[in-house]
Amino acid sequence: MQAQPGDKVKLETTEGIFEGTLLPRPELLSNDITIIKLKTGYNIGIETKKIKKTTILETYKAPLAKKQAAKHNPELPTIAILSTGGTISSRIDYRTGGVYADYTAEDFVNMCPELQQIANIKASKIMSIMSEDATTTDWKTMAEAAVKELSHVDGIVITHGTDTMHYSAAALSFLIKDLNKPVIITGAQRSIDRGSSDAFMNMVCAVTAAAKWNGAEVAICMHATMNDDYCTLLRGTKVRKMHTSRRDAFHAINDEPLAHVKTNGTIEITNENYRKRNDAKPSVRKISNQVALIQVHPDMDLGIIEYHLKQKIKGIVIAATALGHIPITQKSLGPAIAKAAKAGVTTVLCSQTVYGRVHPYTYTNLRKVSMGLGVTYLADMLPETAYAKLCVALTEKDPVEFMKQNIAGEYTMRELDDSFLL
Q: Is 163 a catalytic residue?
A: yes
20/161 with CB nearer ligand ASP: 161
How many residues in the shown chain lie near ligand ASP by CB under 6 A?
10
**Pairing label, strands 16-23, 8-13:** antiparallel
Cβ–Cβ < 8 Å for 249, 190: no
Number of C-beta neighbours around residue 344 at 10 A: 8
Number of C-beta neighbours around residue 104 at 10 A: 22
Residues 85-114: x where in contact with ligand ASP by CB under 6 A, - otherwise, as a string: -xx---------------------------
Adjacent-strand bridge partners of 283? 177
Q: Is 398 a catalytic residue?
A: no
131/370 with CB nearer ligand ASP: 131
Residues 50-89: x where in contact with ligand ASP by CB under 6 A, - otherwise, as a string: ------------------------------------xx--
Does 161 engage in binding with ligand ASP (CB under 6 A)? yes
162/385 with CB nearer ligand ASP: 162
Rounded distance, CA 236 to CA 258, Å? Answer: 10
Among positions 246-285, residues that touch ligand ASP (CB under 6 A) are: none
Does 203 engage in binding with ligand ASP (CB under 6 A)? no
Q: Is 34 a catalytic residue?
A: no
Rounded distance, CA 107 to CA 88, Å? Answer: 11
Does 168 engage in binding with ligand ASP (CB under 6 A)? no
116/162 with CB nearer ligand ASP: 162
Does 6 engage in binding with ligand ASP (CB under 6 A)? no
User: In the bound complex, what is the minimum distance in angstroms from residue 385's beta carbon to ligand ASP?
Assistant: 18
Does 163 engage in binding with ligand ASP (CB under 6 A)? yes
User: In the bound complex, what is the minimum distance in angstroms from residue 236's beta carbon to ligand ASP?
Assistant: 16
Rounded distance, CA 371 to CA 368, Å? Answer: 6
Torsion sign (Cα): 23, 25, 31, 32:
negative
Rounded distance, CA 95 to CA 190, Å? Answer: 19
**Pairing label, strands 78-85, 90-92:** unpaired
Burial (CB count <10 Å: 0-12, 13-18, 19+), residue 264: exposed
Find the catalytic residue in 37, 48, 148, 163. 163
Does 130 engage in binding with ligand ASP (CB under 6 A)? yes
Find the catalytic residue in 84, 87, 376, 385. 87
Helical (H) or strand (E) element with 173: helix 165-175
Cβ–Cβ < 8 Å for 360, 324: yes
Helical (H) or strand (E) element with 320: strand 315-320
Does 21 engage in binding with ligand ASP (CB under 6 A)? no
Which residues are CB-contacts of 266 (< 8 A; sequence separation ≥ 6)? none
Q: Is 162 a catalytic residue?
A: yes
Q: Which stretch binds ligand ASP (CB under 6 A): 44-52, 127-135, 226-234, 399-407?
A: 127-135
Does 132 engage in binding with ligand ASP (CB under 6 A)? yes
Applying CB under 6 A, the residues found at the interface with ligand ASP are: 86-87, 130-132, 161-163, 187, 189
Q: Which residues are catalytic?
A: 87, 162-163, 241
